[in-house]
Amino acid sequence: MNVFMKSAVTGLAMLAMSAAAASAQMVLRYNEPGPNRGTRAQALEYYAQQVEELSGGEMKFDIHWGGALLKWKGALEGIGAGTADMGTLLAPYAPNQLKATSIADLPAGEAADPWIGMRAMYELQTTNPQVQESLAAQNLVYLSNFHTTGLQLECTKGHKIEKLEDVKGVKMRAGGIYTNVFAEAGASMVSMTYDKVYQAYDSGLIQCEAGYFYTIRAYKLYELIDNVTRADYGQIGGFPIVINKDLWEMMKPEQQAILREAGSKMIDEFARLQIEEIDQVVSDLTSGAYGRVIPVTNIDPEAKKELIAAAQPFVEKWVSEFTADGFDGQGIWAEWNGLLDKYTKTRDGEGYPWAR
């Protein structure tokens, strides 16, 4: 950000803060590129509610849904410049600027479990000075995180992916680094946004996809797919909620604490919603609740190891690039895996927080 722009943003932020103080309420413009429906929208509404309750009504969100303020590709720059006070980002749309969060897009440990992945990301982002510095370079501060859940492998009749070699010659759609993983294994990858997947299945443009249980229901893919291999392979966890750094630094410590505490509570609530939805979708697929029985098969552990190994070059690439940016890439990768192990042990020993 240039000096003039930063000064302008700071001045506007100070005016906003002064107005908020005068009215005893701070209204934060929140940019959400996604629609106002589904479990993530429900979780965001929960976050806003928690902020309002914890602040006694003194802090409130004005949520701009569906990219009405900023689209996905412009969200990072827009929040950093102050067009929005805070909002949702996706690391795949700004991989160079969001390397510190894109670590959560790589397959590692139990990162595909939404509670474990989000909890580990929250701790890493709120305690590690290097990842905080990386985000601060974009004039942003991390508050909380979303998560896509783990990737599953779904196919139409006559096709099934149970191990990596099964993708050879298959017309397939995936996202992020997983597009490259499957392409290198011999799949014929087809690029498209998710709203085009149903049509692509219907026309035969794709035969298989690396997707999610919630999208099977949301996009009615159960009408076209014939089987699902439950792989829980990788995820998009570089899915942060951030706030403009200038505004953050003008806030009182208690206001900052409210945004972080509410963000932590939202992680547990969103994970609960996601896991309950996954369980329901699996039940509906296998019971015939969607009008036909669609078998869901757990991937063989050895096949899962092969998938993880196939992504290793992308882990090494992340470590190398983050190190080249002046950070301890290997050390942060080790810390990330340690946090995943920590929350895996918590889940296995105590259960999820909402089930205790």
| pLDDT per position as a tens digit, 14-43 | 444 444 443 468 999 999 999 898 899 999
| pLDDT per position as a tens digit, 63-80 | 999 999 999 999 999 999
Q: What is the pLDDT of residue 186?
A: 97
Residue 282 covered by a domain: no
Residue of 17, 38, 32 lying closest to 255 (CA atoms): 17
Q: Are 337 and 251 in contact (CB under 8 A)?
A: no
Considering the domain architecture, whether residues 136 and 214 belong to the same structural domain is answered as no
Cα separation values, 60 from 23, 53, 277, 313, Å: 12, 9, 28, 44
Looking at the structure of the chain, the number of domains it has is 2
Within 8 A by CB and 6+ apart from 152, the residues are: 210, 211, 212, 213, 216, 228, 229, 230, 231, 232, 233
Q: Please say if the pLDDT value at position 341 is more than 60.
A: yes
Q: What is the pLDDT of residue 1?
A: 47
Considering the domain architecture, whether residues 88 and 227 belong to the same structural domain is answered as no
Q: Over the range 134-155, which residues count as b (16 or more CB within 10 Å of their CB) and which as e?
A: bbeebbbbbbbbbbbbbbbbbb
Residue 72 covered by a domain: yes
Considering the domain architecture, whether residues 261 and 328 belong to the same structural domain is answered as no
Q: Which residues pair with 346 in a beta bridge?
A: none
Q: Please say if the pLDDT value at position 244 is more than 70.
A: yes
Q: DSSP alpha helices (H): ranges in 95-196?
A: 99-102, 114-127, 129-136, 177-184
Considering the domain architecture, whether residues 122 and 158 belong to the same structural domain is answered as no
Distance of CA 35 to the CA centre of its chain: 15
Mean confidence (pLDDT) of the chain: 92
Considering the domain architecture, whether residues 167 and 300 belong to the same structural domain is answered as yes
Within 8 A by CB and 6+ apart from 303, the residues are: 162, 163, 164
Cα separation values, 337 from 98, 124, 178, 334, Å: 19, 10, 20, 5
Measured CA to CA, the distance from residue 8 to residue 82 in angstroms comes to 9
Average pLDDT of span 310-336: 96
Average pLDDT of span 90-97: 91
Average pLDDT of span 172-193: 93
| pLDDT per position as a tens digit, 257-298 | 999 999 999 999 999 999 999 999 999 999 999 999 999 999
Measured CA to CA, the distance from residue 271 to residue 122 in angstroms comes to 13
Considering the domain architecture, whether residues 70 and 203 belong to the same structural domain is answered as no
Provide the CATH number for the domain around residue 93: 3.40.190.170
Residue 56 covered by a domain: yes
Residue of 112, 93, 127 lying closest to 274 (CA atoms): 112
Measured CA to CA, the distance from residue 269 to residue 278 in angstroms comes to 14
pLDDT band at 206 (very low <50, low <70, confident <90, very high): very high
pLDDT band at 181 (very low <50, low <70, confident <90, very high): very high
Q: What is the pLDDT of residue 24?
A: 65
Q: Are 141 and 248 in contact (CB under 8 A)?
A: yes
Q: Please say if the pLDDT value at position 336 is more than 80.
A: yes
Of 216, 245, 275, which marks where a domain is finished?
A: 275
Q: Which two tokens stand for residue 66?
A: 């569906």
Q: Please say if the pLDDT value at position 96 is more than 80.
A: yes
Write out the residue range of the structural domain in which residue 221 sits.
Answer: 151-235+289-355
